[in-house]
Amino acid sequence: MSGSMEAQVVPDFEATPCCDAVTGKVLRESPVHTREELKEAIEAGRRAQAMWAAMPVNERVKRMLPIRDHMMAHLDELAETVARDVGKTRIDALVSEIVPATMALTYYCRKSKGYLKPRRILPGNIFFANKWSRMYRVPFGVIGIISPWNYPFSIPFSEVVMGLLAGNAVILKTAGETQAVGLVLKECLEAADLPKGLFSFINMDGPVAGDAFLELGVDKLFFTGSVRVGKILMKKAAESLTPVSLELGGNDAMLVCEDADLHRAVSGAVWAGLQNAGQSCGGVERVYVHASVYEPFMTLLKTKVESLRVGYDRDHTIDIGAIATGRQFETVKRHVEDALAKGATVYAQARLPKDPQQGYFYAPTVLTNVDHDMVVMAEETFGPVLGVMKVNSMEEALTLANDSELGLTGSVWSKDRRQAEALGRRIMAGAITINDHLMSHGLPETPWGGFKESGIGRSHGAVGFAEMTESQVVVQDMMPFVKKNLWWHPFSPRVYNTIKGVALTLYGKDWKEKAKGFGDILKGFPRMFMK
């Protein structure tokens, strides 16, 4: 397990060096922005947003679609930048970031008009049949997005696109570790025909940025990152009652039933647990396998894990790249060392590169004899490590799966899809997949978000798009010739009896009580037409 990197020369001006995560080579620099510049960006966004929100949705869509043309013309370049900035393979970058982003843009451009269409609300009671309501979706104004380093393109891209299509101005801050990706994402947005100031890219230190976004008055904040930071931001947002959407950590469980297709289940565990060097909040970290299929499952898993090729991607023959940061590398080491000290066993492990002098490479590892007293099973490891437990029943697996403060995603593997869904729906997590895992984030129509400490709010799909707007209802009185409502002043015994009559007519215990109530309504009804 390797963790050394060549020294990096930091420029002597205010810029963040964008470095290859493996070689340390400086790819480009990203200017650092000040708090005053963020304030100016928010003010510019607010000026541009009014004009943008007033445009017909079709016009906003037309102006956004050139982004896709730009991305298609630069697919290889985008994948290369993501791979170098994070340390993942270019195939990983293409399949989990760039291609899903193009799909998401297309989907939201096609669906945004329907998502934003006013909705008529039918009267809920005959006595209010003259009150017709319509629900509108109103953009927040200026939204802030703070995104992470593990999927630095795909995670913020969908949120930026939805935010803009919904009529907002957007301020984006990407992680300091992946500024090269942030800059090419900015270039993609510049291909759109947007009003000046509507979209801004900000490079600020994370702890400073969160406070600054909230203190300087963004109208909503979207954050993807750790539980710890999410709680800090939520507490800060409470001071101004700024709404927040938080997508936080995961410690996701995979349940393998006795009738599972083992080849598919094992391949799914390897993909969902180890790709991107395990740095996926929605990836498999805990695997619970029915005792009747445990041995053949483990045999297949060992073969597949030990055949993984780890290293620096030069010619698309590498399966697993590097861990993005030294800090995360140390976290993975600590979790595994804790497990081994408490009795866990390394059951399978891939080989490291022959000359891992640069980059934070960690050999994909399968641990057995694990339990929930070990950090690797209790917390988010965020590395290429799978902890596998044998269970005697799927009820036991379900109990273990729900034994976590996190609940982002989960999966069930079985040939009986109906039973698998029934079991999956009992997992306390926001996204459940059957016979698959770590792919629903790539489905633009599917809501994304978690239960418990995995966050609040949702992104993606109709539900996620709605997070970009506030609901506004307009109630129209369809009988303008009526002078007053039954319950308006001045009050009198007759007013009381009339209102009571409404309740009796609707919910009286028998026809006599209902008839009496209706009679009282008729007595009070004429006052509606009196000045």
CA atoms within 13 A on the CB side of 243: 15
Beta strands in 72-214 (DSSP E): 119-121, 131-139, 142-146, 169-173, 199-202
Residue 187 carries which side chain, given as an amino acid letter?
E
Q: With left for phi above 0 and alpha for psi between -120 and 50, is residue 179 left, alpha or beta?
A: alpha
Cβ contacts of 51 within 8 Å, gap of 6 or more? 195
The per-residue DSSP string of 508-524 comes to: -SSHHHHHHHHHHHHHH
Known active-site residue 513: no
Q: Which amino acid is at 370?
A: V
Element (H, E) at 97: none
Task: Return the pLDDT at 356.
Answer: 62
Residue 52 has which token pair? 């943008």
Pick the CATH number of 252-443 from 3.40.309.10, 3.40.30.10, 3.10.20.740, 3.40.50.1820: 3.40.309.10
**What's the half-sphere exposure (Cβ side, CA atoms, 13 Å) at 453?**
17
CA distance 283 to 305: 16
Q: Which of 134, 141, 163, 175 is nearest to 19 (CA)?
A: 175
What is the spatial distance between Cα 250 and Cα 230, in angstroms, rounded to a whole number? 13
- AA identity, residue 118: P
Per the structure block, which two tokens stand in for 238? 């409470």
The answer to whether residues 335 and 381 touch, using CB atoms and an 8 Å cutoff, is: yes
- H-helix or E-strand spanning residue 224: strand 220-224
Q: Are 229 and 210 in contact (CB under 8 A)?
A: yes
Which string of DSSP letters, residue by residue, matches 380-438?
Answer: ---SSEEEEEEESSHHHHHHHHT-SSEESEEEEE-S-HHHHHHHHTTS-SSEEEES--S
pLDDT, residue 357, reads 62
Q: What's residue 314's pLDDT?
A: 86
Q: Under a CB-based contact definition with an 8 Å cutoff, are residues 261 and 283 in contact?
A: no
Residues pairing with 476 in the sheet: 132
Per-residue pLDDT of the chain (531 residues; tens, 9 = 90+): 444 333 333 344 489 999 999 999 999 999 999 999 999 999 999 999 999 999 999 999 999 999 999 999 999 999 999 999 999 999 999 999 999 999 999 999 999 999 999 999 999 999 999 999 999 999 999 999 999 999 999 999 999 999 999 999 999 999 999 999 999 999 999 999 999 999 999 999 988 999 999 999 999 999 999 999 999 999 999 999 999 999 999 999 999 999 999 999 999 999 999 999 999 999 999 999 999 999 999 999 999 999 999 999 989 999 999 999 999 999 999 999 999 999 999 999 999 988 766 899 999 999 999 999 999 999 999 999 999 999 999 999 999 999 999 999 999 999 999 999 999 999 999 999 999 999 999 999 999 999 999 999 999 999 999 999 999 999 999 998 899 999 999 999 999 999 999 999 999 999 999 999 999 999 999 999 988
Residue 9: per-residue pLDDT: 38
Local structure of residue 364 (DSSP, 8 states): -
Cis peptide bond prior to 490, omega within 30° of 0: yes
The CATH H-level superfamily of 46-118+130-248+463-472 is: Aldehyde Dehydrogenase; Chain A, domain 1 (3.40.605.10)
Catalytic pick from 80, 247, 379, 380?
A: 247
Six token digits for residue 317? 């023959």
Please give the Cα distance from 460 to 347 (Å, whole number). 38
Q: What CA–CA distances, in Å, run from 275 to 202, 213, 281, 355, 377? A: 29, 33, 12, 21, 19
The SS3 of residue 112 is helix
Q: How far apart are CA 430 and CA 409, in angstroms?
A: 6
Domain boundaries, the chain: 46-118+130-248+463-472, 252-443, 484-529
Structure tokens at 443: 């489905």
**Residue type, position 227, single letter:** V
